[in-house]
């Protein structure tokens, strides 16, 4: 989203706005009573939380201070119709009532039937990250009726335009807050539903896999039986060999399918657990569940298996480091979330790896991964471990290399590829909540995406590489 150019966050601008407000107040020349009304309204709306009490405050303050009655009309579920929600005689209206014909939506105050009717407007600027209120995305929130008009001076009418501005401002904030509360309640209920209806039933797949494994074992027994009968009954060797070959192929295919299903189920279960934890939704951010982990064995290898066929279909060779398994270092990381980091990096590698011609004329189309120690990366005696995922192909442009980790950003080379530009943003977020950093660097034959994590010992303390 483009920044609001009308907003200047410097101190001089704010100080000028303060001076402007002081000039405005002098110009308004409100009486002490009217200033007290605004102060009483502000104090009371901070004191009471419920929307019903807020409505009561809106109509009670003018009655007690200026001895005028009032009625509060707000836009209902139908965005073009008003509803009476509170008046200074009967209080909050809980049942829908006909709205007088002279009460109409308008952006300017007007007089009708002995009353002065003023529009209630919401804040003109949207709050960053907060969607418009679902029931009314326009600027008008409702109308405020004050009567009898015979008791109002011209100064009173101007005052009520300012008073309704404060009603609209506070009402808008309360509606946004209520919407956010409803949203959070919905999310928390959704998490419970996912836990009950998806994650728990997902365990049943293990029962199905066990049944499949049992059938594979029975097929092995059948192979043995056919082989015994072949020798005992002197069966036709050619016919028997055909049967044996068919059984052997069937057994091999079923075993491969069973292994693939188990691996896919394990990955899906891990991702479901790590993304739909109740802690995330209760805290409002991703919550780590770190444990001692061998990165290549427990994170990288399962994701390579997951992408093996896709790499093979695109003719991409996976080049494995020689040192990671020999010098595997236990790290305290969130297994599920860090696995998804490699999932996104390998997914991009499948899409964007291209063949290059090397200096000696040979061709290379490959993905490589590895890691290296960086002493004092995070400061004195705070070493880091850098994890790399390299792929051959043309370098990113300067603009792409700067913005590639931003959410929603898609580079020039990705316009013809499926995706939403969220993967690398997710990578950056997960790495940062681990206390690390992400980055991109061009290399001689391609592109290297990397992340650096603080090197901790198995107890979670910073470790120092000698």
The length of the chain is 466
* Residue 262: partners with Cβ closer than 8 Å, 6 or more residues away: 209
- Are 296 and 429 part of one and the same domain? yes
Identify the DSSP state of 296: I
- Are 243 and 305 part of one and the same domain? no
- Are 72 and 175 part of one and the same domain? yes
- Are 296 and 312 part of one and the same domain? yes
Angle (CA) 220-223-224 rounded to 5° is 90
The residue out of 276, 299, 330 marking a domain boundary is: 276
The residue out of 223, 255, 276 marking a domain boundary is: 276
- Are 162 and 52 part of one and the same domain? yes
* Residue 76: partners with Cβ closer than 8 Å, 6 or more residues away: 82, 83, 135
Task: Specify the pLDDT at position 239.
Answer: 67
- Are 261 and 364 part of one and the same domain? no
Could you give the residue ranges of the DSSP H alpha helices within 67-145?
none
Count CA within 13 A, CB hemisphere, residue 259: 9
Could you give the residue ranges of the DSSP H alpha helices within 143-203?
154-194, 200-202
Name the token pair of 88: 């200074």
pLDDT along the chain (466 residues), means of 10: 53 81 81 88 90 93 93 82 92 87 93 95 57 52 95 92 92 85 73 60 68 80 74 62 76 79 78 80 83 90 87 93 69 91 92 92 94 91 93 92 84 61 87 95 95 73 43
| pLDDT tens string 307-321 | 888 899 999 999 988
3 within some domain: no
193 within some domain: no
Name the token pair of 5: 């150019």
- Are 319 and 427 part of one and the same domain? yes
- Are 136 and 162 part of one and the same domain? yes
192 within some domain: no
Question: Contact 144/59 with Cβ under 8 angstroms?
Answer: no
- State how many domains the chain has: 3
Query: Torsions phi, psi of 215, nearest 5?
Result: -65, -35
- Are 289 and 269 part of one and the same domain? no
Q: Where in the sequence is the domain holding 26, given as residue range(s)? A: 11-183
Query: Torsions phi, psi of 379, nearest 5?
Result: 125, 175
Identify the DSSP state of 188: H
- 267, 245, 259: which is closest to 216 by C-alpha? 259
- Are 115 and 25 part of one and the same domain? yes
Query: What count of other Cβ atoms lies within 10 Å of the Cβ of residue 232?
Result: 8
- Give me the CATH number covering residue 27: 3.30.450.40
- Are 54 and 162 part of one and the same domain? yes
466 within some domain: no
Question: What pTM was estimated for this model as a whole?
Answer: 0.57
258 within some domain: yes
- Are 292 and 386 part of one and the same domain? yes
Task: Specify the pLDDT at position 8.
Answer: 54
Task: Specify the pLDDT at position 414.
Answer: 61
Task: Specify the pLDDT at position 324.
Answer: 66
């Amino acid at each position: 989203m483009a920044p609001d150019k009308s907003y200047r966050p410097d101190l001089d601008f704010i100080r000028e706005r303060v001076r402007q407000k002081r000039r405005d107040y002098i110009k308004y020349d409100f009486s002490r009573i009217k200033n007290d009304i605004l102060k009483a309204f502000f104090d009371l709306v901070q004191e009471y939380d419920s929307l019903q009490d807020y409505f009561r405050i809106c109509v009670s303050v003018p009655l007690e201070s200026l001895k005028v009655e009032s009625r509060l009309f707000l836009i209902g579920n139908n965005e073009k119709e008003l509803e009476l929600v509170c008046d200074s005689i009967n209080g909050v209206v809980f049942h829908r009532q006909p709205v007088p014909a002279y009460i109409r939506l308008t952006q300017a105050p007007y007089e009708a039937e002995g009353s002065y009717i003023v529009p209630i407007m919401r804040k003109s600027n949207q709050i960053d990250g907060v969607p418009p209120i679902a029931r009314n995305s326009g600027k008008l929130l409702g109308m405020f009726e004050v009567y009898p008009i015979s008791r109002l001076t011209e100064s009173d009418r101007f005052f009520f335009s300012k008073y309704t501005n404060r009603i609209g401002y506070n009402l808008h904030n309360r509606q946004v807050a209520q919407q956010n509360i409803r949203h959070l309640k919905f999310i928390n209920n959704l998490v419970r539903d996912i836990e009950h209806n998806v994650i728990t039933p997902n365990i049943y797949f293990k029962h199905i896999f066990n049944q499949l494994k049992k059938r594979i074992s029975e097929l092995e027994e059948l192979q043995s039986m056919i082989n015994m009968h072949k020798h005992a009954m002197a069966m036709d060797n050619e016919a028997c060999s055909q049967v044996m070959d068919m059984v052997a192929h069937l057994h091999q295919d079923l075993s491969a399918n069973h292994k693939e299903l188990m691996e896919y189920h394990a990955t899906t279960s891990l991702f479901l657990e790590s993304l739909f934890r109740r802690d995330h939704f209760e805290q409002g951010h991703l919550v780590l569940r770190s444990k001692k982990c061998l990165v290549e064995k427990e994170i990288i290898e399962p994701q390579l298996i997951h992408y093996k066929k896709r790499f093979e279909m695109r003719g991409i060779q996976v080049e494995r480091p020689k040192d990671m398994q020999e010098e595997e270092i236990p790290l305290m990381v969130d297994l599920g979330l860090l696995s998804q980091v490699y999932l996104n990096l390998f997914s991009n590698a499948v899409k964007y790896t291209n063949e290059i011609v090397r200096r000696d004329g040979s061709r290379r189309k490959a993905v490589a991964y590895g890691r290296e120690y960086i002493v004092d990366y995070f400061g004195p005696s705070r070493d880091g471990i850098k994890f790399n995922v390299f792929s051959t192909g043309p370098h990113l442009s300067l603009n792409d290399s700067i913005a590639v980790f931003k959410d929603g950003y898609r580079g020039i080379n990705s316009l013809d590829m499926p995706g939403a530009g969220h993967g690398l943003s997710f990578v950056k977020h997960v790495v940062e909540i681990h206390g690390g950093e992400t980055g991109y660097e061009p290399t001689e034959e391609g592109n290297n995406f990397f992340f650096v994590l603080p090197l901790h010992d198995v107890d979670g303390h910073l470790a120092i590489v000698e």
